[in-house]
Structure 1
């Protein structure tokens, strides 16, 4: 009898190891990140107290091209085309070791879990909005942290519609190149569903070299979510964008509307290109014209060019040059960090940086 128990125990133990190995083979967790820093020069800088020119500035810039961050992502295969996924992503400030490029919390960039299937993906938690994703897909400079559509985006609405708390979204499967996404984020205020409520939708069409995107966003002020920078600015956003590949050249154009409650009603019209001069050398450029429909004397033009040289698959050195001209009350800046808002007239800026991805 004891021998039988021993055989049974060994059999159960072997089965347990086999099951554990099978589960392990179907699951994965990845640590990833970006470390990006640069030297920044601007010919003018904004005095936040007076709004006047505080003079030229030289500074060490966190995230000159890509946002510095680290995160964990994971996937488990459930079989039949079903998967569970998660992502925890934190922004970092390389200049002081603190939080950066996020809503101010530990995992303030992304913190979500999802169920993916052949019928689409359902996601819950802190996530990017359909408006943000559509803008990223069609921005001429890939939402660089310097001199791109991301600067005009954050200049208008800070972190709103970028980092969405209490959010639930559904993204459809890709059907003949067309993919749709909808999102609802709840403000969390008892007795007032509209306080802090945010929703958005997008359609993105990809067919060979062509990418076309349309997106919408509507967000209310209020709610219980408290973040730094604010992510509950009341505004309505609309976007139409397109990009096309010609071999090593990609051209892009878009129109984005940021209608901020009680403030600007800005339309940002942009266009530009990216070109692989060599497999390891990339140059790009973009122009962003912003006009306030509430007061046409408020307008600006932002232009930037950049070059990056890939030292390896993970590391690159880069430089960027930008120019901005502001009229009226427009305050467009040159960079998300250290130069988000600009002064009236002309300002020139330059970055030289290093980036490593892991």
Structure 2
């Protein structure tokens, strides 16, 4: 029917349709064959509450909604891939973080895609990505991190990964999969005028994977600028190793990482940071799992010792493939100079107990 209620002009519409079809076929015949490509929008929303006893300087409990998620980091992003044929492809990934409670960016420097911003190419040789991305340490450790980088504000996983919140900017990352072996390499440009080494990162690593065992090791060297404009820099070396074993529905895993860093104030002494962790993950049913882990960080700087121990027990229940409920209870103990370290321990209390619960949805 037309707008006045009368019969529509069927012959005219048929003529137009045939003309459009002919033009479309002609265009397809004249166009070259392009590779297939796709873009995926994805994200995570984590609405959780956390109560931390001794979470304030006065000693009271602090009830909060974590700015970037309790269990999972709040994020959204684009993942794209173009098939070039012959097993080759081009990919990109842009990922941003946000604060669920306010909708703001989860950083103060207005970096939209501060989580990931890469473009890369892959094929039979492996995959090369360029841009801001997770550190090589992160990818190696992922195979034997008990919580698979969940509860990042509680565990020591971000510190173990190193870099800027577990990421490197200006990074060129290589990954090659050869049977059970995964070969990794990273070079991150420093971007300091007049110096190739200043501010740069060089890392290499290996993962070995079977259905029962997962092993990994990595080495990272960082040349950290003394100041933003200084031509001087100080070195940092990180050595990491760990593994996991699967026995039925249970995964047992553990790891060790040692960071030796020159002290910028003197450039003649070192800070020694030692990380040790272990845990177990039990898949009780396809919908319910329990994970327990322990993290230990020992620090020694100029003869002063600090230590942070974290014990955590978490449960997850899947409501669907994309929605899950979670809860945890954790205990953190600070000793030595860590008790008064305002960055690591804002409340200043040596012993803190936390309880968290919430819902996480993926899209």
| TM-score band w.r.t. shorter chain | 0.7 to 0.9
Q: Which residue of 2 aligns with 1:261?
A: 262
Contact 1:188 1:225 (C-alpha < 8 Å) held by counterparts: no
CA drift of 1:259 comes to: 2.9
Contact 2:338 2:345 (C-alpha < 8 Å) held by counterparts: no
TM-score, reference length from structure 1: 0.83
**Cα distance in 1 for residues equivalent to 2:327 and 2:254:** 23
Q: Are residues 1:117 and 2:123 paired?
A: yes
**Cα distance in 2 for residues equivalent to 1:127 and 1:102:** 19
Q: Which residue of 2 aligns with 1:165?
A: 169
CA drift of 1:18 comes to: 6.3
1:164-199 Cα offsets, whole Å, 9 max, x none, are 111112112x22201111111112122122221112
Q: Which residue of 2 aligns with 1:3?
A: none
Q: Which residue of 1 aligns with 2:318?
A: 310
Equivalent residue runs for 1:1-358 within 5 Å: 13-14=24-25, 16-17=27-28, 23=34, 26-45=36-55, 55-61=60-66, 62-100=68-106, 105-145=111-151, 146-150=153-157, 152-153=159-160, 159-160=163-164, 162-172=166-176, 174-222=177-225, 235-262=236-263, 264-294=271-301, 295=303, 297-330=305-338, 343-358=348-363
Q: Which residue of 1 aligns with 2:8?
A: none
CA drift of 1:93 comes to: 1.3
**Cα distance in 1 for residues equivalent to 2:289 and 2:30:** 47
CA drift of 1:287 comes to: 0.5
CA drift of 1:124 comes to: 0.9
Q: Structure 2 unaligned runs (5+)?
A: 1-19, 264-269
Moved more, 313-322 or 250-259: 250-259
TM-score, reference length from structure 2: 0.82
Contact 1:69 1:91 (C-alpha < 8 Å) held by counterparts: yes
Contact 2:338 2:344 (C-alpha < 8 Å) held by counterparts: no
Moved more, 186-195 or 260-269: 260-269
Secondary structure at 2:138's aligned position in 1? helix
CA drift of 1:288 comes to: 1.0
**Cα distance in 1 for residues equivalent to 2:234 and 2:105:** 21
**Cα distance in 2 for residues equivalent to 1:168 and 1:331:** 38
Q: Which residue of 2 aligns with 1:5?
A: none
**Cα distance in 1 for residues equivalent to 2:347 and 2:143:** 26
1:324-352 Cα offsets, whole Å, 9 max, x none, are 1111012599xxxx987563521101101
Alpha-carbon spacing, 1:328–1:350, altered in 2? closer, same or farther (3 Å)? same
CA drift of 1:293 comes to: 4.5
Contact 2:255 2:278 (C-alpha < 8 Å) held by counterparts: yes
Secondary structure at 1:17's aligned position in 2? helix
Contact 2:56 2:62 (C-alpha < 8 Å) held by counterparts: no
What is the count of residue pairs matched by the alignment? Answer: 331
Q: What is the aligned-residue RMSD (CA, Å)?
A: 3.1
